[in-house]
Amino acid sequence: MTQRILFLCTHNSARSQMAQGLLNWLAPDRYTAFSAGTHPTGIHSLSVQVMAELGIDITGQGSHALSVYQGQPFDVVVTVCDSAAEECPVFAGAREQLHWGFADPTSVQGDEATKLNAFRHTRDLILVRLRLWLGQASPTEAIPPPALGTTDADHVRILVVCTGNSARSQMGEAWLRYLGGTRYEVASAGTHPSHVHPLAIAVMDERGIDIRGHRSKSVDEFLHHPFDYVITVCDQAAETCPTFPGPARREHWSFPDPAAVVGSPMEQLRAFRAVRDALYFACWSWLAQQAKHREVQ
């Protein structure tokens, strides 16, 4: 029997809707997710659009008032905005009542592209939080996200390495720069550099990140540069990557090469999207652990 989980936000238009759709997609054998709002207004069209990018249709979920579910049994109740957390009543039968705060993408001002990217970013943050939560022995302590945009003067220098510096390491560099803020200085390189793959450019552009100006670089360019971390993102690079001087710590994250996929253009695009999203999760998880470690110190 699946556990019942209820996601709550203010309008039940974006954050709670995306959380419901994502959890039902990620773990349908473990959870049945529902969502509601303290002041429901309907599902936002951009919520529908960005979820459809992952192949998830949330049009049938409906927008519901919190009162619809009061008195019903839930194993877990999660508020995904601060306002809902303040207004949410105690669900007597819930085993856990959690709060994961996400900024409201509907409040972002700007052109349509800016608004769309805000919804994509919120969707991806919720996806990462859910994956972290699902992977823990106990669901009561989700790892907090790193402090984005910190101005800590103690920079952490990272080199991300794969074979061709065309896809995996390029996307890893871009995600670490995007998510890590000014605390992290990030570069990427290849043991046998070639060129930045056009599909890597295309799928990162879908997330609002422009890597058109990136070039493919050899690890030889960085042999005399000091790094705190050298992260290899393919098995071959892990075997052939040279040793860097100084205190560099080696980490290895294994990802398949999306450029090696043989198939239709759509199959190849899906392969790049899958690696892009897996790298997003890996980068968020690693940065969250870094942030947690700093808090302990």
Retrieve residue 251's tokens: 């980490």
What's the rounded Cα separation, in Å, for the pair 231 and 32?
A: 37
Task: Give the mean model confidence (pLDDT) for residues 16-21.
Answer: 96
What's the rounded Cα separation, in Å, for the pair 48 and 61?
A: 10
Task: Give the mean model confidence (pLDDT) for residues 204-219.
Answer: 87
150, part of any domain: no
Domain span at residue 287? 156-296
Domain boundary among 101, 134, 167: 134
Torsion of CA 112, 118, 122, 124, to 10 degrees: 90
Are residues 162 and 286 both part of a single domain?
Answer: yes
Are residues 204 and 288 both part of a single domain?
Answer: yes
What's the rounded Cα separation, in Å, for the pair 287 and 28?
A: 28
In the chain, count H helices and then E strands: 8, 8
Most distant CA pair in the chain: distance in Å? Answer: 64
Q: In whole numbers, what is the pLDDT of the chain averaged over residues? A: 84
pLDDT of residue 268: 92
100, part of any domain: yes
Are residues 167 and 200 both part of a single domain?
Answer: yes
Are residues 120 and 167 both part of a single domain?
Answer: no
Are residues 99 and 37 both part of a single domain?
Answer: yes
pLDDT of 139 > 60? The answer is no
Are residues 291 and 170 both part of a single domain?
Answer: yes
Domain boundary among 73, 99, 134: 134
Q: Is 207 helix (H, G, I), strand (E, B) or coil?
A: coil
pLDDT of 147 > 50? The answer is no
pLDDT band at 154 (very low <50, low <70, confident <90, very high): low
Are residues 165 and 278 both part of a single domain?
Answer: yes
pLDDT of 92 > 60? The answer is yes
Are residues 125 and 164 both part of a single domain?
Answer: no
pLDDT tens-digit profile of 30-64? 999 999 998 899 999 999 999 988 888 999 999 99
Are residues 125 and 168 both part of a single domain?
Answer: no
What's the rounded Cα separation, in Å, for the pair 213 and 175?
A: 15
Residue 21 one-letter amino acid:
G
List helix spans (H) across the chain.
15-26, 45-52, 82-87, 112-134, 168-180, 198-205, 235-240, 265-296
Are residues 100 and 161 both part of a single domain?
Answer: no
Task: Give the mean model confidence (pLDDT) for residues 155-172.
Answer: 94
pLDDT of 133 > 80? The answer is yes
List helix spans (H) across 161-264.
168-180, 198-205, 235-240
141, part of any domain: no
Q: Which residues are catalytic?
A: 162, 234, 241
198, part of any domain: yes
262, part of any domain: yes
pLDDT of 237 > 60? The answer is yes
pLDDT of residue 266: 87
pLDDT of 167 > 80? The answer is yes
Compare 206 and 52 and report the one with higher pLDDT.
52
Retrieve residue 151's tokens: 């101005």
CATH number, position 271:
3.40.50.2300
The DSSP secondary-structure symbol of 68 reads G
Are residues 21 and 121 both part of a single domain?
Answer: yes
pLDDT of residue 296: 55
122 within 8 A of 103, measured Cβ to Cβ: yes
115 within 8 A of 108, measured Cβ to Cβ: yes
38, part of any domain: yes
Domain count, the chain: 2
144, part of any domain: no
CA 170 to chain centre: 16
Domain boundary among 86, 102, 134: 134
What's the rounded Cα separation, in Å, for the pair 118 and 110?
A: 10
202, part of any domain: yes
**Strand (E) or helix (H) holding 216:** none
